[in-house]
Amino acid sequence: MTTDLETALLRAFVTSVKAGSISRAATALGHSQPALSQQLRRLERVVGQPLLHRAATGVSLTTTGEALMPYAERILALSSQALQVSRSTLDGHCGVGLLEDLATPVLTSALAEFTHFHPDITLELVSLPGPAMREAFVSGRVDLALCDPAYLPEPSRWTARMPLVWAQGPGIDIAADPLPLVLFSQPCRWRDPVLQTLERSGRRWRVVFESTSLAGVQAAVRAGLGVSALLPPNLEPGTVAPSLPELPEVEFGLVRSSATEGDRLVDAVETLLRRLV
């Protein structure tokens, strides 16, 4: 008999990974912690392998969990899109601003498939630094922005926090003094908290590479130039750096132009972004 992967179980799994702990995921989903733990155990029984390492500090993915994660995200995204398709026919234009760190393949692919299901709509996706995102938002080019909300003139409709994680290039000695750093160029509001974390721990550092783009930072880490602080979705396999000071969480939010209230297309895209992130 064929065993299906229930979307509720996949949502419990994905939310726990992104939240970093079962207790935070339970709060986000409106469940009790025991109920969420039970859902995770049910999913592991269906898969036949442990998916999460559980510790007092939170949860992390097992090898099987890492393999399942992108499929789980894709299934949840497609489920959301199917609901949207079945409920309404949409048309019009929507500008979506994405912080580059959050423009993951899963998110951009889901938005592309959303346009495929709704052939009468136009989505304009732009990835811009904070000041340029503000200009695009004020001018009306961007209707919805998933970014650092501090740059935008309207309040967030939804916010989330995610921890930064150290990424280590091959051959890098993390005990080096000073520590070689790969950083995002200014303007970057997450840069100062990273440097302050090192200074509070007594670690000296030197900047060996700066870039305005995520791809540039990832390439420098991959080349072994130094260590960098990235969001978990942007870590490449085998690059997590142990034994460095714990980094702070950073906030991002979904900001919507008040001029789009009542726009059914923007409503649908907002719902999709909330589900994806």
d(CA 252, CA 157): 11
Please report the pLDDT score of residue 166 as a whole number: 93
The 8 Å CB, 24+ separation contacts for 41-47 are 42/9, 43/5, 43/6, 43/9, 43/10, 43/12, 43/13, 46/3, 46/5, 46/9
Q: What's the whole-model pTM score?
A: 0.64
Tell me how long the chain is. 277
Tens-place pLDDT, residues 54-94: 988 889 999 999 999 998 998 888 877 766 655 567 889 99
Tens-place pLDDT, residues 206-224: 999 999 888 899 999 999 9
Task: Please report where in the chains the tokens 């200074």 appear, as a residue.
Answer: 199
In tens digits, the chain (277 residues) has pLDDT values of 446 778 889 999 999 999 999 999 988 888 889 999 999 999 999 888 999 999 888 899 999 999 999 989 988 888 777 666 555 678 899 999 998 888 877 788 888 888 888 888 999 999 988 889 999 999 999 999 998 888 899 998 888 888 899 999 888 888 899 999 999 988 888 889 999 999 999 999 999 999 988 889 999 999 999 999 998 888 887 788 878 999 988 888 999 999 999 899 999 999 888 877 7
Ramachandran angles phi, psi of 102, nearest 5°: -105, 0
For the chain, give the DSSP string.
-PPP--HHHHHHHHHHHHHSSHHHHHHHHT--HHHHHHHHHHHHHHHTS--EEEETTEEEE-HHHHHHHHHHHHHHHHHHHHHHHHH----EEEEEEE-GGG--HHHHHHHHHHHHH-TTEEEEEE---HHHHHHHHHHTS-SEEEE-GGGSSS-EEEEEEEE-EEEE-TT--TT-SSEEEEEEPSS-TTHHHHHHHHHHTT--EEEEEEESSHHHHHHHHHTTS-EEEE-GGGPPTT-BPPSSPPPPEEEEEEEE-GGGTT-HHHHHHHHHHHHH-
In the sheet with 205-211, reading across from the earlier edge strand, the strands are: 165-168, 227-230, 179-184, 205-211
Encoding tokens for residue 149? 């909300």
Domains in the chain (CATH in brackets) are 7-79 (1.10.10.10), 90-162+252-276 (3.40.190.10), 165-247 (3.40.190.10)
Question: Which residues 6+ apart lie within 8 Å of 153 measured at CB?
Answer: 134, 137, 138
d(CA 196, CA 12): 34
Encoding tokens for residue 200? 């509070």
Cβ pair 253, 149 in contact under 8 A: yes
Please state whether 238 falls in left (phi above 0), alpha (psi between -120 and 50) or beta.
left
